[in-house]
Structure 1
Amino acid sequence: MTTTGLTTTGSTTTGAGTFLRKGRTRGATWLVLRRHRVAAWSALGLLAVLVGTLVWLRSGITGYTAGHDMTHPADDTLRHLSDTYGDPLHYIGRFLEFLPLLVGAFVAGPMIARELESGTYRVAWTQAISPMRWFAAKLALPAVALLAGVSVLSATYAWTWRSLPLEHLPGQWWWRNTDMLGPVPVAHALLGLAVGALAGLLVRHVLPALGATMFALQVLLLPVQWLRDRMVAPATELSREMPGLIRGNTDWIVGRGMVDASGGHLPEPDCGVGVRPADCLAQHHAVGWYLEYHPGSHMQPLLWAEAGVCTALALLVAGAAVWLMRRTHP
């Protein structure tokens, strides 16, 4: 009887503790949603407008290209296509490109630094919500929203972008739109979220936190962009004649140079103005040329490689933010 009574009491206590923990988690979630409901509804409305615009653009593009000769299009045809549909599509792509900065600025400023600067976070912490639960809600809700919203927007953008006759529109070639396609915008946005959270915790003042976020994001993303063409090994083509730097609409040329007698590669030298390629080869005792490029089949591997790198960076920065929160507010 005694054992049964103790077991029942222990189970009741455990159940009550679980209920209280769930209640506190839901309370933190509700508090974050309530405090930033205007921003949440605004973001949802903007997403609906952008997705609707992309659907309209795709419908217009497919209708226009179906009614005109796209095998050998006239200049006026391409100009109208670019001005009417290509330019608005590019502007939405630019929004996707700068979205990480917007996300990081919002998280660093209004979500975290403003509450730490004004002291309003103490209200939440005195309502049975621990500092870590408060911070987890601050990170988890935007992360889920970004994964869902940016994934939808990025997928819709790529769906519309593919409907363009890309071979006739150099500005829309895939290697010029890497920041706007596939999983890359999602990974960049998550990195912006993590950097914003860490900057808000470190700086604790809105305007300096905004500046620190933008600077830190540039510092992290610039090396990624510099190494973008090396995240997947490029294809190499050898030739006796000097190859051109533009070849079709699917091949991204990333390097050109000379091949010596032993098969080694020499980056393209400066042989001077007016020097024939054959004479340039002779000056450097080379026997041919090499060309490094990414064919169209490399697009998806390159996009996923960059997204993986940025996601790993986001996890590292988010881990640093959690460590800092635990150390300063145990």
Structure 2
Amino acid sequence: MSTLAPRRSEPPRSEPPRTGPDRPDPYGPARVVVRQHRWTLRATATLLALVAAVTAVSRLLTDRFADRFATTGCSVEHTVTGCGDTVRSYLDDQYLMHTLQSWAGLLVLVLPALVGAFTAGPLIARELETGTYRLAWSQSVSPARWLAAKLAVPAVPLLAGVSLVSAASTWARARTGSEYPLDWFDTPVYVATGTAPVAYALAGLAVGALTGLLVRRTVAASSLAALATGALIAAFGYFRSALRPPRTVVLSDSADGVSGGPPADSWVVHTGQLTSGGRRLPVDVCWLNDVESQTRCVADHDITGMFADYHPASHFWPLQLVETGILLVLAALAVVLAFRVLRRRHG
């Protein structure tokens, strides 16, 4: 009688890792956010890359136009016979490049408000308003992971694109100036260069998340987030000069006019009259139409000259770093508050 031989044991087959309730997919919430808003994310990244390219190309064309104009022998200050059309064409080209760079700076200026509106409305408040967030939370996704994915996914293309725009704008500003220079202290230029654009983008993202969790209505949350971020930009634009103590220079009268003014490319934040005792008076305290009355006013107030408070160009990076630090702290506080609001309302 024959016996049956035992079956040979087959090696266990490798199974793909389970991503069900026992082992959730750590990237699941991020994939959902990418899929839901992929067109918006792509459009944002493309727009920022286009802004960076326009900024860099306009700066290169500005230098190219200047070099070509220098070979003609014409001059803007002293136009010679036969150079009228050449000078006009050169100035038109320079003004066009100046306009392109100005519009790029304005776009970066309003970008944080747009980011805050998108984060508050379509990204967070819409799901809370329609109740679709319950589907994600029923798939072993905690509220904290849900909110973290909502913040992390748009932050990646936003930071990459804004950093690219900031690098292009900073490089363009450091190039040789044109006939229409962009002052470093102008708000559209200042907010588009240095480290400030990244900080403003993160602040808009954080403010939008907090507003969306508090309001929970798409249209209202988007509007309030845009207003709050815009108010933040306006507040820094108003108080920016106070982030670092300015320098002071005393202006003196001479035969050639007023001398001893601030250096070129300086940001003059305040001017006024100065008495012999060092007291400061408004700049228009003795601006009268009558010369005799004006002379009497100067003598009565004991005015000896004028003063000017200014930030030199070397204050650009100190002002940038201080403003960036404050914005990052505010963004971190907004994110902490957003998670606390989410935890208080949903556990």
TM-score normalised by the chain length of structure 2: 0.80
| Partner residue, 1:63 | 64
Tell me: CA distance 1:118–1:293, structure 2 relative to 1, closer, same or farther (3 Å). Answer: same
SS of equivalent residue, structure 1 residue 93: helix
SS of equivalent residue, structure 2 residue 27: helix
Provide Cα deviations, 1:257-311, integer angstroms capped at 9, x if missing partner.
Answer: 2333333333434324336676553232233321111111112222222222222
| Partner residue, 1:260 | 275
Counterpart Cα distance in 2 of 1:245 and 1:135: 57
2:117 matches 1:105: yes
2:300 matches 1:289: no
SS of equivalent residue, structure 1 residue 287: strand
Give yes or no for contact 1:245–1:253 (8 Å, CA) kept in 2: no
In proportion to residue count, which structure has more helix?
1
SS of equivalent residue, structure 1 residue 239: strand
Give yes or no for contact 1:61–1:163 (8 Å, CA) kept in 2: no
Counterpart Cα distance in 2 of 1:320 and 1:310: 15
| Partner residue, 1:8 | none
Shift of 1:243: 5.0
Instruction: Give the letter for the 2:53 counterpart.
Output: G
Counterpart Cα distance in 2 of 1:51 and 1:211: 28
Shift of 1:58: 2.9
| Partner residue, 2:185 | 175
Provide Cα deviations, 1:207-246, integer angstroms capped at 9, x if missing partner.
Answer: 1111111221233333221111111111111233385898
Counterpart Cα distance in 2 of 1:96 and 1:219: 15
| Partner residue, 2:33 | 32
Given candidates 42, 67, 76, the residue that maps to 1:73 is 76
Tell me: CA distance 1:51–1:297, structure 2 relative to 1, closer, same or farther (3 Å). Answer: same
Give yes or no for contact 1:103–1:192 (8 Å, CA) kept in 2: yes
Count of aligned positions? 311
Gap regions ≥5 residues in structure 1: 1-15
Provide Cα deviations, 1:181-207, integer angstroms capped at 9, x if missing partner.
Answer: 211121111111111111111111111
Shift of 1:143: 2.5
Given candidates 295, 309, 317, the residue that maps to 1:300 is 317
Instruction: Give the letter for the 1:328 counterpart.
Output: R
Give yes or no for contact 1:250–1:295 (8 Å, CA) kept in 2: yes
Larger-Rg structure: 2
Tell me: CA distance 1:158–1:114, structure 2 relative to 1, closer, same or farther (3 Å). Answer: same
SS of equivalent residue, structure 1 residue 270: coil
Shift of 1:39: 1.4
Tell me: CA distance 1:55–1:238, structure 2 relative to 1, closer, same or farther (3 Å). Answer: closer
Higher alpha-carbon deviation: 79-88 or 149-158: 79-88
Give yes or no for contact 1:257–1:267 (8 Å, CA) kept in 2: yes
Shift of 1:51: 2.8
| Partner residue, 1:228 | 240
Instruction: Give the letter for the 1:191 counterpart.
Output: A
Counterpart Cα distance in 2 of 1:72 and 1:300: 34
SS of equivalent residue, structure 1 residue 271: coil
Shift of 1:254: 0.9
Tell me: CA distance 1:142–1:278, structure 2 relative to 1, closer, same or farther (3 Å). Answer: farther
SS of equivalent residue, structure 1 residue 263: coil
Higher alpha-carbon deviation: 246-255 or 309-318: 246-255
Shift of 1:160: 2.5
Give yes or no for contact 2:251–2:259 (8 Å, CA) kept in 1: no
Map 1:1-330 to 2 at 5 A.
23-69=24-70, 73=76, 76=88, 79-163=91-175, 165-166=177-178, 168-170=179-181, 172-176=182-186, 177-241=189-253, 249-274=264-289, 280-330=297-347
TM-score normalised by the chain length of structure 1: 0.84
Tell me: CA distance 1:230–1:81, structure 2 relative to 1, closer, same or farther (3 Å). Answer: farther
Instruction: Give the letter for the 1:174 counterpart.
Output: W
Identity of aligned residues (%): 34
Tell me: CA distance 1:33–1:234, structure 2 relative to 1, closer, same or farther (3 Å). Answer: same
